[in-house]
Structure 1
Amino acid sequence: MSEQFCMVLSTTNSRENAKQIIDSVLGQQLAACIQTMPIESHYVWQNEICADQEILMIMKTTNACYTELEQTIKAHHDYDVPQIIQVPFAEGFNPYLSWIEENTRR
């Protein structure tokens, strides 16, 4: 099972937008689990230093779902340039990895 799983990280500044993304991703079985947490983001946008309260979405999925997951996030996201980052992982508790595999599209 190694190296077939990943986490996808994305942020938004709207609970409504987060819910829309989450509902679409889970409804299409592109991730098995999405965790959210409030964060404060500091970044440069259009040559200005910015800070925002955002919601971080941590999506557990398979590498095979990544391309379609990215497209789904982009299609539903409010940002012009949303954060969509894939973080592969090779190891984990086997029953949990099996659960991810069973709850995502193949």
Structure 2
Amino acid sequence: MEPLLVLTNLPDVASAEKLARALIECRAAACVNVLPACPSIYRWQGAVEVATEIPLLIKTTRAAYPLVEEVIRTQHPYDVPELIAISITDGLPAYLDWLAMETEKHDQE
């Protein structure tokens, strides 16, 4: 089991909570933190943009990542959503065991 932390941002609390719930309900993720709104400054289609976004921290596994990506791609309101996966190399063993258990159907595939 290889644990991952996946990052994405959404434009509002309602869409962030809806996506978080969808990821948990289909067992694509063990936990999703919906963080407070923060400013994002980025370049999009040649212009510098400023937006308020809601960050999500998604805890999952490499095996479940394809489903995480599918859910985000189909339910995210942006044309090109941020989707970054970071390997978790260390962590509390009991927490990582729980993460694996919550997404285990994907680890068995």
TM range (shorter): over 0.9
Q: Which residue of 1 aligns with 2:96?
A: 97
- Out of 23, 26, 29, the residue aligned to residue 25 of structure 1 is 23
Q: Which residue of 2 aligns with 1:48?
A: 47
Q: Which residue of 1 aligns with 2:61?
A: 62
Q: Separation in 2 of the partners of 1:103 and 1:48?
A: 41
Q: Stretches of 4+ moved more than 4 A in 1?
A: none
Unaligned residue ranges in structure 2 (runs of 5+): none
TM superposition shift of 1:16: 1.6
Unaligned residue ranges in structure 1 (runs of 5+): none
State the SS of the aligned residue for 2:78. coil
Give the alignment's Cα RMSD to 1 decimal: 1.0
Task: State the TM-score, normalizing by the size of structure 1.
Answer: 0.93
Q: Which residue of 1 aligns with 2:87?
A: 88
What percent of counterpart residues are identical? 30
Aligned pair count reads 104
State the SS of the aligned residue for 1:24. helix
State the SS of the aligned residue for 1:41. strand
TM superposition shift of 1:72: 0.6
Q: Separation in 2 of the partners of 1:11 and 1:91?
A: 24
Q: Deviation per CA, 1:13-58, whole angstroms, max 9, x where unpaired?
A: 1212112211110000111111121221110011110111100000
**Residues 7 and 58 in structure 2, CA contact (< 8 A), matched pair in contact too:** yes
Task: State the TM-score, normalizing by the size of structure 2.
Answer: 0.91
Q: Which residue of 2 aligns with 1:74?
A: 73
